Amino acid sequence: MRLTLLAAALLATSGSLAAQTAPDADAAAKAVANDVLHWRRDIHQHPELGNRETRTSKLVADHLRSLGMEVRTGIGATGVVGILRGGKPGPRIGLRADMDALPVSERGDLPFASKATTQYRGETIGVMHACGHDTHTAILMGVAKALAAMRKELPGEVMFVFQPAEEGAPEGEQGGASRMLAEGLFAEFKPEAMFGLHVIAGIPSDTIAVRPGPFMAGSDRFTIKVIGRQTHGAKPWGGVDPIVTAAQIVTGAQTLVSRRAELTRAPVVLSFGAIKGGIRYNIIPDSVELVGTIRTFKPDMREDVFTGLRNMAEHIAAANGASVELQVPAEEGNPVVVNDPALTARARDSLLRAAGPGKVIAIDPITGAEDFAYYANEVPAVFFFVGATPPDRDMKTVASNHSPDFHVDEAATLSLGTRAMLQVSMDYLYGVK
């Protein structure tokens, strides 16, 4: 009888050890909510472009040091990495937030709206967190504080990655996830799983969106310089008009998607973002510069667009007596973001616990891009969206990310984002499935 009771007691004890219960993510998120709100507003009011996030990175580094973490700065220009070592053995995970803003002049009337300006491509323009990276940074700072508070009982180790230049480095510089990895981000601490989030307009702020497999497009930037010969606007036959030539290239390039790409296989996008040339109404200039982006999901379709755009630009220019200087692509682009299917299935259960029934939706692949893809190429990873729009708004008409009118449903989005990242992290560390 004694042996039976002893055996039962041992089985009960070992079972309780195997089935660990993660702390309450909702309570942990609420404990840091005021801090997250304060940080978000502060960062929003003081935005910085890629590789120039000096104020933001100092704010982050000082915060992580105050939590007793091992902190590394200066990786990937202005990147910050903190390592939290739990009091118990367990897995290693990585959590990432991006810190950079965009050259966009804010139009909103927030009391903490950005008034910052900068010189960008030769023009004075505002600087704004028009893509929500201020919320990402504030959320991860809050997650760091919440997890550090439970350090003694926490199983495993967490790498907090605060990344610069997700939107791209300044011309002539390297930046972002690829640079952080090249400079040894995973050299001494390689996580077995990596998680990241992005707030997004057009999805309700009580909802999370995610999908396994290919999630966000690969992206490439291109530059086409059309070279003509300057002449008087009243005498176009006296020169070669690069403006007309550039216009034909812009128009013709659209057929590379509408008539050449097999869109039933995967989406393709080719967009021109800037046309610069000329200085005066009655002078036909020497040259015009075109810059734009290409978004694809398939390597062969990507190469087809590159080849088609080069050929089209060269032949249209030749037909007009002009020439072109091409950078197609202009630099190494972002790969496709691919969510690990098994890890996504596991994370989805955690996201459901954070958001509630019916509030985690599947989403089709999107043609937005993210250099989180570089981490996902190194370790199993999951990237998910947190809605940024009040549920009572028309999701089809709200200003999108990258708009000067981009708006975050602040309290709801910050709360859900913090809760979701905490739930995903703690469930993985505690082995909850």
pLDDT at 121: 81
Task: Give the whole-angstrom CA distance, residue 50 versus residue 57.
Answer: 11
**Burial code of 273-282, b = ≥16 C-beta within 10 A, e = fewer?**
eebebbeeee
Q: Could you tell me which residues are beta bridge partners of residue 240?
A: 229
User: Per-residue pLDDT tens for 81-106?
Assistant: 999 999 999 999 999 999 999 999 99
pLDDT at 340: 98
Terminal alpha carbon distance of the chain: 36
pLDDT at 82: 98
Candidate list 98, 166, 167, 371, residue with the active-site label = 166
The CA–CA distances, whole Å, from 190 to 83, 95, 299, 375, 381 equal: 11, 12, 28, 10, 12
pLDDT at 332: 85
DSSP code at position 258: I
For the entire predicted model, the pTM comes to: 0.91
Give one word for 404, left, alpha or beta, with left for phi > 0 and alpha for psi -120 to 50: alpha
Under 8 Å between Cβ of 210 and 193:
no
Percent of the chain past pLDDT 70, that is, above it, reads 96
Under 8 Å between Cβ of 183 and 72:
no
Domains and their CATH numbers in the chain: 21-215+336-429 (3.40.630.10), 218-327 (3.30.70.360)
The CA–CA distances, whole Å, from 353 to 61, 358, 359 equal: 31, 11, 10
Exposed, middle or buried, 33 (CB in 10 Å: 0-12/13-18/19+)? middle
pLDDT at 15: 39
- pLDDT of 6 over the 60 cut: no
pLDDT at 5: 43
The CA–CA distances, whole Å, from 26 to 36, 40, 146, 166, 360 equal: 14, 19, 11, 29, 16
Q: What is the mean pLDDT of residues 242-266?
A: 97
Task: Give the whole-angstrom CA distance, residue 225 versus residue 231.
Answer: 18
pLDDT at 122: 84
The yes-or-no answer on residue 100 being catalytic is yes
Token reading at 387: 């809605």
pLDDT band, residue 13 (cuts 50/70/90): very low
Q: Could you tell me which residues are beta bridge partners of residue 92?
A: 157
Q: What is the mean pLDDT of residues 228-234?
A: 98
pLDDT at 108: 85
The yes-or-no answer on residue 166 being catalytic is yes
User: Per-residue pLDDT tens for 313-358?
Assistant: 999 999 999 999 999 999 889 999 999 999 999 999 999 999 999 9
Q: Could you tell me which residues are beta bridge partners of residue 72?
A: 81
Stretch among 164-173, 241-250, 254-263 having the lowest mean pLDDT? 164-173
Candidate list 48, 53, 98, 100, residue with the active-site label = 100
- pLDDT of 67 over the 60 cut: yes
- pLDDT of 148 over the 60 cut: yes
pLDDT band, residue 193 (cuts 50/70/90): very high
Task: Give the whole-angstrom CA distance, residue 25 versus residue 421.
Answer: 9
DSSP code at position 371: T
Count of residues making up the chain: 433
Token reading at 92: 């290693």
- pLDDT of 165 over the 80 cut: yes
Under 8 Å between Cβ of 337 and 380:
no
Mapping DSSP to helix (H, G, I), strand (E, B) and coil, where does residue 426 land? Answer: helix
pLDDT at 51: 97
Cβ count near 227 (within 10 Å)? 15
- Mean per-residue pLDDT of the chain: 95
Q: Could you tell me which residues are beta bridge partners of residue 288?
A: 226
The CA–CA distances, whole Å, from 299 to 85, 219, 223, 334 equal: 39, 11, 20, 12
Task: Match 């290409």 to its residue by tokens.
Answer: 294
Q: Work out whether strand 70-75 and strand 79-85 pair parallel, antiparallel, or are unpaired.
A: antiparallel
- pLDDT of 20 over the 80 cut: no
238: Cβ–Cβ under 8 A, 6 or more apart, which residues?
A: 231, 232
Task: Match 């004694």 to its residue by tokens.
Answer: 2
Task: Give the whole-angstrom CA distance, residue 241 versus residue 284.
Answer: 6
Task: Give the whole-angstrom CA distance, residue 370 versus residue 115.
Answer: 27
- pLDDT of 17 over the 60 cut: no
